[in-house]
Structure 1
Amino acid sequence: MRHLLSVISLLWLAAPAQASPHCEGGQVWEDRNGNGHYDAGETPLTGIKLSDGVEVFITDADGRYRFAPVEGRTLFVIKPAGYDVPRRADGIPDFWTHARTTPGPALKYGGIPAGSPGCRDFGLIPRATLAQSPDLEALIFADTQTKSLTDVGYYRRDIVEPLIGRHTAQLGLTLGDVVDDDLSLYPALNTQTARLQVPWLHIPGNHDLDFDAGSDGDSLLTFRHHFGPDTFAWEEERMTFIGMDDVIYRPGQKPAYVGGFREDQFAFLQAYLPTVRKDRLLVLGVHIPLFDTGGGSFRAADRQRLFELLRDFPHVLLLSGHTHTQRHWYHDAATGWHGPQPLHEYNVGTACGAFWSGVKDADGIPDATMADGTPNGYARLKVATGGDYALSWHPARDAQDPAIGLHAPKVLRQGAYPAWGVYANVYLGDDRTRVEYRVDGGEWKPMQKVSQPDPRLLAENMRDDLADALRGYDRSPEAKPSQHLWRGALPTSLPAGEYRIDVRASGRWHDEVSASTRYRLQSATE
């Protein structure tokens, strides 16, 4: 049966019946003045890669590529290192065109309108110099997930505006669930993201689907109309990025989707990966994590096929979203990875936190803390030569930019049994993170990693439970065990008085970060 399905898939990929007769290719040139026109003195670019999501085409000495467009596919140029692409009127990078000559299915949010033959010319703008920093820096958003214009306003004030003029990134990524089912919000959201003035790439999530589509193949038509191909590649000097739709829509079934890949995506990878340099970092961005979050959330056979294709690459990083928590996962033989080193997957915390929920602050913006106690925000990826990279997490609008959240009791009885502790939520921590604490400037002691909910969020849950009226539009999420929480017992044998608690953490993602809080010992009689 598996062999029969493979044969059927290959026949579908090779079928010429849908080929469009309206164009046969185009040209790629160096647009030195960036005006979008092939002017005198500008030159064609040879060796540039393009793809229709299945095959890869390479420009010849005249900068020309040739292929037969297939109705419904999207052609895109694989931006090479050292070049930029122009931006569309909405600020999205202009590196694709759709093959849609006849109307597609009637969809609530429009899908892809007819009128595009499927090929075009592409002008690439030469980049004068690399950024001053030797590293490539990218901003990473997961699950902006706006369900209304009110949420778009939160995104603007909480995430975008604090970054305007203050970041040094050369690239931006959104890892799916751009909106929360209302695809009419794409233009409003894009208007805000474009204010960051960097090329911004989008991957679809399960809340970006056309749910009135009759098949998985038609479920991202509206997304593709606004953002381009759902699977694509983008090359920088220090990094190759591949964005992939990994949401398989199953109309009429429960659950309505599962994590996995399509046959055309594997065909693209098989054609493209042999052209990718192995001396720089290969980053794969998806929405649904490749590790199982419960109930067979990702098809194991698809993960295995992907890992076999990636096996010979020495520097690989996986980025995912979807869970509205944050953690690091290191794939090994148990999940089908057989490379010489574990394969790192960073499951990125979300821009919307817990769906823009929680009590609003003085500025009218919800608290949005995630279920594992991580504050909403964004990540930064810095990539150096040779495949090295560094990650950081930045809570939204917090001028202190804390890497650790602390919780400790305010007061304990002096002389009581030391059963109460200080908790440190090291937002980007993993099993390799070393976390220590000290009291009153004393000796540093190790903290123990624990798998339990963040007590700060538990306290917020209790405040919501005890309130006589709603404290916000949606209450904070129910706290769940955190993957990056540490505990240290607080001494009670000291004299009565107030004491400072210092916590420090170091590891793969931190040279050393620290935080402090206080508690008081009070003497008591019966």
Structure 2
Amino acid sequence: MTRSFVAAALLAFASWSHAQASTCDSAVYEDRNGNARRDAGEPAIAGIRVSNGTEIATTGKDGRFTLDASPGRTLFVIKPAGYDVPRRADGLPLFWAHTPPISAHALRYGGLRDVGTTCPSFGLRRTPTRKGDLDVLVFSDTQTKSQVDVGYYARDIVEPLRRRDGKPAADLGLTLGDVTSDDLSLYPAITAVTTRLGAPWLHVAGNHDVDPDAQVDSEALSTFRQQFGPDTFAWEEPQADFVVLDDVISQPGRKPAYVGGLRDDQFAFLAQYLPTHDARRLLVIAVHIPLFPDGGETFRTADRERLFALLKDVPRVLVLSGHGHVQRQFFHDATTGWHGASLLHEYNAGAACGAYWSGAKNADGVPDSTMADGTPNGTARLVVARDGTYRLSWQPAGVTADTGELTRAMRVHAPRVLRRGAYPAWGVFANIWMATPTQRADFRVDGGDWMPMKRVEQADPWLLAENVRDDEAPALRGYDRSPEAQPSTHLWRGALPTTLGIGAHRVEVRTFDQWQGEQRGEATYRLEDAAP
């Protein structure tokens, strides 16, 4: 018997033994000092749910749980309301642990590495009951492709949101995928920036977060999971329960390379979790690829209908998605397979990177990055009340809490000058970034009577003008030019009067936002006489 044969046999036996030792019997305990280690005197906690992404177990009186912990799985605690979890050294919440894989396909960015534990315990720390609203920062598509972009993200998005008193910028943070733009080596740098905000931060996986050299869907998020934890999990607060779902089905070697959808193990998790959801809270479903059709079957119809069947009887549901680098409010009904008691709201959030960190740079050297529908790059805020009702708002990049401009809700565009007496064929446009399709908008000139504006689906004229400036520039105005303007779903128009006096005229626009109340914007135009 040769040495090589013996070595091979021993390796095969070790792998077999590892595969057979797939049941985890461990515990959840009260981590009173927050050091992520069970110390003497720290008691067990009963009634806590722990999952492997498919099954859910509940701890007994001794805090113990039993779960399948096959190699390569990620086990996690479903953080209950009234508790917090420890933080890792990089500031991310520590509520999960990977079981060591037997072997791993060699991946460029490292993939899921052996982390040295097969059966983790989880610590929770009791927190004072939050009596007010839950304040959540919602980012989507930070999508940095270089360290330069990470710098833009820090200066344009994160730094303006940091509080001067050093307190967390929100109670919770959530990034809706495409954390980076294919270069997964940037994850630590991005995390170091995001965690400056001080809030516990959760991450959804996006199509640009997959390992580019993965051979099958099951390994496509190996490096993402190594950095951010499970791709499917639940997290609970007193006002809302959050379910994060990887909805990117990778199709290596095929076209398209991915499609929106969910896996059977995710449906199994949902089927067990949803009956435990507190119906008094808002249920937030966080995904990357929108659930609604977007120019074809971008999300598998059968998966959407299967998901909607599970959600149908949940009284309060909000879907958060990203991916499109535009901003939309979508309300699902029977045409998309939704049969709940009321319409299902999906907020398709705009991108933190806007149009991929493109456009002419401002005085601080940061690209303008207005999105193709005219929405400025920025972030959203979700505020959830104790009764499960919620409010949404959009915060353009660079706007800080200290400026008092958090409710700036639109860009108003008007031509600079028109001929006095001309046929009123030119309009004032209001791009109202968070508007729903049925929202009301009015305008008035020089303090006169309010007149209704009409919703139109066309390109934002401000961005069209920017496209022309790029076209006519003798040299590049930035690394990448602004995107070609495309029809916006939140644009309103009113015809400007031309029978007023010569000179400047003030145009005011008001809209009635269902979450933030009345919002206003303004612009000016001038009338001049002209001879034929």
| Alignment TM-score > 0.5, same fold | yes
Helix, strand or coil at the partner of 1:193: helix
- Per-residue deviation, 1:278: 1.1
Q: Structure 1 length as normaliser, TM-score?
A: 0.95
Helix, strand or coil at the partner of 1:67: strand
1:137 equivalent among 116, 135, 138:
135
- Is the CA contact (8 Å cut-off) linking 1:437 and 1:501 kept in structure 2? yes
**1:15-30 alignment, distance < 5 Å:** 19-21=19-21, 24-30=24-30
2:239 maps to 238
**Given the alignment of the two structures, is residue 34 of structure 1 paired with residue 34 of structure 2, yes or no?**
yes
**Given the alignment of the two structures, is residue 425 of structure 1 paired with residue 426 of structure 2, yes or no?**
no
Helix, strand or coil at the partner of 1:158: helix
**Given the alignment of the two structures, is residue 444 of structure 1 paired with residue 450 of structure 2, yes or no?**
yes
- Is the CA contact (8 Å cut-off) linking 1:30 and 1:43 kept in structure 2? yes
- Per-residue deviation, 1:403: 0.6
- The letter for the 1-side match of 2:209 is D
- The letter for the 1-side match of 2:287 is V
Post-superposition Cα deviations, 1:70-97, rounded to whole Å, max 9, x if no partner, equal: 1121000000000110111111110111
1:249 maps to 250
Helix, strand or coil at the partner of 1:124: strand
- The letter for the 1-side match of 2:113 is P
Distance 2:515 2:327 in 1: 14
**Given the alignment of the two structures, is residue 162 of structure 1 paired with residue 160 of structure 2, yes or no?**
yes
- Per-residue deviation, 1:525: 1.7
1:146 maps to 144
- The letter for the 1-side match of 2:36 is G
Distance 1:95 1:432 in 2: 41
- Per-residue deviation, 1:275: 1.1
Bigger CA drift: 420-429 or 115-124? Answer: 115-124
Distance 1:445 1:475 in 2: 36
In structure 1, list runs of 5 or more residues that go unmatched: 1-15
- The letter for the 2-side match of 1:92 is L
Helix, strand or coil at the partner of 1:188: helix
1:125 maps to 125
- Is the CA contact (8 Å cut-off) linking 1:23 and 1:117 kept in structure 2? no
- The letter for the 2-side match of 1:197 is G
- The letter for the 1-side match of 2:81 is A
1:176 maps to 177
2:466 equivalent among 454, 460, 463:
460
**1:193-212 alignment, distance < 5 Å:** 193-212=194-213
1:13 maps to none
Helix, strand or coil at the partner of 1:409: coil
Bigger CA drift: 18-27 or 371-380? Answer: 18-27
- Per-residue deviation, 1:116: 3.1
Distance 1:209 1:35 in 2: 32
Size of the alignment, in residue pairs?
509
Bigger CA drift: 392-401 or 360-369? Answer: 392-401
Helix, strand or coil at the partner of 2:376: coil
| CA-atom RMSD in angstroms | 1.5
Helix, strand or coil at the partner of 1:283: strand
- Is the CA contact (8 Å cut-off) linking 1:179 and 1:186 kept in structure 2? yes
Post-superposition Cα deviations, 1:91-112, rounded to whole Å, max 9, x if no partner, equal: 1110111112423110000101
Bigger CA drift: 399-408 or 70-79? Answer: 399-408
Helix, strand or coil at the partner of 2:208: coil
Change (3 A) 1:17 1:412: farther
Post-superposition Cα deviations, 1:455-478, rounded to whole Å, max 9, x if no partner, equal: 000000011111111110000000
Helix, strand or coil at the partner of 1:386: coil
Post-superposition Cα deviations, 1:353-372, rounded to whole Å, max 9, x if no partner, equal: 00000000110000010000
- Per-residue deviation, 1:433: 1.4
1:6 maps to none
- Per-residue deviation, 1:19: 4.5
Identity %: 59
Post-superposition Cα deviations, 1:314-367, rounded to whole Å, max 9, x if no partner, equal: 100000000000010000000000001010000001100000000001100000
- Is the CA contact (8 Å cut-off) linking 2:55 and 2:67 kept in structure 1? no
Post-superposition Cα deviations, 1:272-324, rounded to whole Å, max 9, x if no partner, equal: 11111111100000000000111211100000000000011010000000000
Bigger CA drift: 436-445 or 399-408? Answer: 399-408
Distance 1:365 1:111 in 2: 32
- Is the CA contact (8 Å cut-off) linking 1:243 and 1:286 kept in structure 2? yes
- The letter for the 2-side match of 1:150 is V
2:291 maps to 290
Distance 1:330 1:115 in 2: 43
Distance 2:282 2:82 in 1: 16
Helix, strand or coil at the partner of 1:225: helix
**Given the alignment of the two structures, is residue 516 of structure 1 paired with residue 522 of structure 2, yes or no?**
yes
2:502 maps to 496
- Is the CA contact (8 Å cut-off) linking 1:19 and 1:68 kept in structure 2? no
1:188 maps to 189
1:317 maps to 318
- Per-residue deviation, 1:432: 2.6
- Is the CA contact (8 Å cut-off) linking 2:136 and 2:173 kept in structure 1? yes
Distance 1:97 1:438 in 2: 59
Bigger CA drift: 395-404 or 57-66? Answer: 395-404
Distance 1:45 1:483 in 2: 49
**1:307-346 alignment, distance < 5 Å:** 307-346=308-347
- Per-residue deviation, 1:20: 4.9
Distance 2:45 2:488 in 1: 50
Post-superposition Cα deviations, 1:353-402, rounded to whole Å, max 9, x if no partner, equal: 00000000110000010000000000000001222000000001134342
**1:396-411 alignment, distance < 5 Å:** 396-398=397-399, 399=403, 400-401=405-406, 402-411=408-417
Post-superposition Cα deviations, 1:44-90, rounded to whole Å, max 9, x if no partner, equal: 11010010001001100011111231112100000000011011111
Distance 1:383 1:289 in 2: 22
- Is the CA contact (8 Å cut-off) linking 2:52 and 2:68 kept in structure 1? no
2:279 maps to 278
